[in-house]
Chain A
């Protein structure tokens, strides 16, 4: 459903991502793991259109080429960025409502909001509270919930576990795994390689801007090189 072919992203003249090709199939969770500075965030920024890129990108048969960020979002491509990018002065409820901004058919918005509240009861408790006053874990839940309000076909998550307590990380990954039931495809970028590979169907390893390894997640998790480099030597 989503594919990148020979995608290169440059900052000025420096290539941050080089000739990357990857694909996500319908209903699949695909993860890109790699060390800090490998170009994982850059890759997602290019996928959503916030950064320009060379190469080919397609989503459900549409060439994403010159498509703006907003056009991609209208086609139900969604990014939860590393910085969350919440509307900090606005209430939790307003943040969630704005998640549905791109939907033309607004009849189901109320139902989707209730579903998000069911999934994250904490958000319902804090619906009147300003997003800026939430804890780190709650912010991540809000960022995820806001993305779900757009009824995404492909959800791209950038470091969803970053800066969160282990208990919250487990909760977030449980949620990510459960999104498969909604038919949402996921492209997950993570430094927490073990958690990401446990949740994913397929994985890519990105190092210094290039894909150096790929394969089914259950194989990668037992790969000796990856175990030494990313999985804490277990």
Chain B
């Protein structure tokens, strides 16, 4: 391997890793706030790419119908829960957030489709259609079992992933899509050609990470999410509602997964089931970072991207084996490094 090839592979790896980083940060965010390892995150990313491709082809995507069905289900469950707890005074609020807002989003997307919108608007529409899915799934699936064990939540999360893959096949069919590049610019750095799309991916990952940092460090809502992640009982005693913190975490996480889907769609062909590998590799990155640290998850995910890039050069067929094998030494190292974790939790 020459240094030129190594440089190209490294740049390619950083770009892929930046996409994984967005999903990995979202995974850590959801896990720390809700204890759910949200496996369908990759599916959310893939669905965004497929939704954008459908919008490009002037078809209204099935994700719109999915949002409507999920909104109706979530509203029904919320109403039953309010009746059971004698909190019917909260009904207007529930109707607004669980029914009116998602339906309005789908309505706006449907109406905007009529006027053949430009690419920038289609990007926003794709993100708008995707972001309500995870928070609604949270209300329907995870909130009733919020006090369950991490293993139960993980098992349900895996089941949800398979359900979404099935829906993906139903909505988008078995064909893969590749959307048009967001930019045709390119530049040369130290003799290596870097495409504008690659730069866009890295810049978007940096901007979103930076925005997230500002959100967590400088806003009360951001701090309340961190507090919920650090100490759930303590945060409840401050009046922070874990369910609301969870919804915000799912919204933010979905947005990040959606952006990563949009970024990856012009570079890789995305199929209805591509999300699993994206999610799993981001998860590996998050584990490398310890599942609780955002910078750790981002660095881990970029590492996974670079490893995957070099592995695919050496042996394309074995690249996934090589990436997932990385988990073994990392998990051994992590388990050795955190021998006292249970005692710390007790404390």
A: which residues have CB within 8 A of B?
Answer: 48, 50, 66, 68-70, 73-74, 78-79, 81, 85-90, 94, 97-99, 101-102, 146, 150
Contacts and interface: CB of A to CB of B under 8 A. Distances in A.
* Chain B interface residue number, banded: 10 to 19
A98 B230 contact: no
Contacts of A48: 237
Given A97-B223, A98-B223, A73 B238 contact: yes
A99 B230 contact: no
A101 B220 contact: yes
Given A87-B227, A90-B226, A94-B223, A69 B86 contact: no
A66 B85 contact: yes
B233 interface: yes
B245 to A, nearest CB: 11
B242 to A, nearest CB: 9
A150 B227 CA distance: 16
A101 B237 contact: no
A85 B234 contact: yes
A74 B239 CA distance: 6
7 nearest A-B residue pairs (beta carbon): A102-B239, A85-B234, A73-B239, A87-B230, A101-B238, A69-B236, A87-B227
Given A66-B85, A86-B231, A97 B220 contact: yes
Contacts of A81: 233, 237
A98 B238 contact: yes
Contacts of B234: 85-87
B237 A85 contact: yes
Contacts of B76: none
A99 B231 contact: no
A70 B220 contact: no
A97 B217 CA distance: 12
Contacts of B223: 90, 94, 97-98
B240 interface: yes
A98 B227 contact: yes
24 contacts: A50-B233, A69-B236, A69-B237, A70-B236, A73-B236, A73-B238, A73-B239, A74-B239, A78-B237, A81-B237, A85-B233, A86-B231, A87-B226, A87-B230, A88-B231, A89-B230, A90-B226, A94-B223, A98-B220, A99-B238, A101-B240, A102-B239, A146-B238, A150-B239
B240 A70 contact: yes
Contacts of B224: 98, 101
Nearest to A76: B239
Q: Which of B220, B234, B238 has the most CB of A within 10 A?
A: B238
Given A94-B223, A98-B223, A88 B238 contact: no
Contact of A98 (B85, B87, B233, B240): B240
B209 interface: no
A86 B233 CA distance: 9
A66 B11 CA distance: 57
Interface in B116-141: none
Contact of B237 (A73, A88, A90, A97): A73
Interface string B66-109: 00000000000000000001110000000000000000000000
B223 to A, nearest CB: 6
A9 B86 CA distance: 22
B235 interface: yes
A66 B87 CA distance: 9
Nearest to A65: B86
B59 interface: no
Nearest to A106: B220
Contacts of B238: 73, 98-99, 101-102, 146, 150
